[in-house]
Amino acid sequence: MEEELVEILTKKQYKITTAESCTGGLVAATIVNVSGASEVFQAGFVTYANEAKEKELVKIRNQKIGFIFQKYHLIPTYNVLQNIVMPLLMRGMGLAEAQETSMDTIDMLGLSQRIGHKPNELSGGQQQRVAIARALVGKPAILLADEPTGALDVNSGKEVLKLFENLNQMGNTIVMITHDLNVAKHAGRVVRIVDGEIYEN
C-alpha cells in the first residue's frame, strides 16, 4: 500500500507533510522506508500536547504556506513595504534584512514605485499585488488564494490571474478557491465540490 501511495504521488508530482500524535510517527516512518519517498515526503512532525501541536502548525503556516485573501487584509496604517515584510519579521528576521530580502518580490510585482504608499492610496488591483507579494516573500511551498479576484474589477482581476499564471510557470504551487467558472478556466487542474461530492475535470 505504501509503495502504491508513493507511486501515485510521484506520478501526480504531489508532496505531503504528516502531522501525528497518537500514531507516534508511524505514518511518516512507514512512508520514508519506501524507495523514492524522499521525492514526495516534504516534512513530518509528532506532538503529544495540543499546545505543542498548535505551535508547530503556526510555524508551518508561517514558513510553508502563503495566504492570499479576497479582501487583501493589509494593515491600513502600514505602507506597502511594511505590509510586505511583516511575515519575515514574524520569523525573527531583522528589519534591514527583511527589507532587502523583499525587494526582488516587490520589483517582480511592479510595486517598487509604491513602497511608501498606504493601502488607501492604492487601487484594488495594486492592493491585491501587495497581498500577493506578502504571501510570496517568505518563499512558501504553496500559495492558498481564497477568491483572489472577488473584490476586483474585471481588468484588475485579469491582471491578477495573469500574474498567477506567470508565478505558476516559475514553479510556484497555487491552490485557488473560486465560485467563478471563468476564473477556474485559468487553472491547470480544476476540482469541483458539488453537494459535498468531489469531481475532477
Q: What pLDDT is recorded for position 163?
A: 83
pLDDT of 96 > 80? The answer is yes
Mean pLDDT value of segment 136-153: 84
Give dist(CA 170, CA 155) in Å, integer.
23
pLDDT of 45 > 70? The answer is no
Q: Strand 142-146 and strand 16-20: pairing?
A: unpaired
More confident residue, 11 or 144: 144
Confidence of residue 94 (pLDDT cuts 50, 70, 90): very high
Exposure of 18 in the CB half-sphere (CA atoms within 13 A): 19
Q: What pLDDT is recorded for position 156?
A: 80
Give dist(CA 2, CA 92) in Å, integer.
38
pLDDT of 14 > 80? The answer is no
Q: Which residue type does 110 have?
A: G
DSSP state of 145: E
Top mean pLDDT of 12-26, 39-53, 159-173 is at: 159-173
| Other CB atoms within 10 A of residue 145 CB | 22
Q: What pLDDT is recorded for position 186?
A: 87
Provide the phi-psi class of 124: left if phi over 0, else alpha when psi is between -120 and 50, else beta. alpha
More confident residue, 155 or 22: 155
Decide: pTM greater than 0.85: no
Exposure of 5 in the CB half-sphere (CA atoms within 13 A): 15
Instruction: List the single range of 107-121, 126-140, 187-201 with lowest mean pLDDT.
Output: 187-201
Q: What pLDDT is recorded for position 139?
A: 83
More confident residue, 63 or 42: 63
Q: What pLDDT is recorded for position 73?
A: 87
DSSP bridge partners of 144: 67, 175
Give dist(CA 158, CA 180) in Å, integer.
13
What structural domains and CATH numbers belong to the chain? Answer: 2-46 (no CATH), 63-194 (3.40.50.300)
Confidence of residue 103 (pLDDT cuts 50, 70, 90): very high
Confidence of residue 130 (pLDDT cuts 50, 70, 90): very high
pLDDT of 35 > 90? The answer is no
Give dist(CA 168, CA 174) in Å, integer.
7
Reading the block at residue 59, the C-alpha cell is 510555524
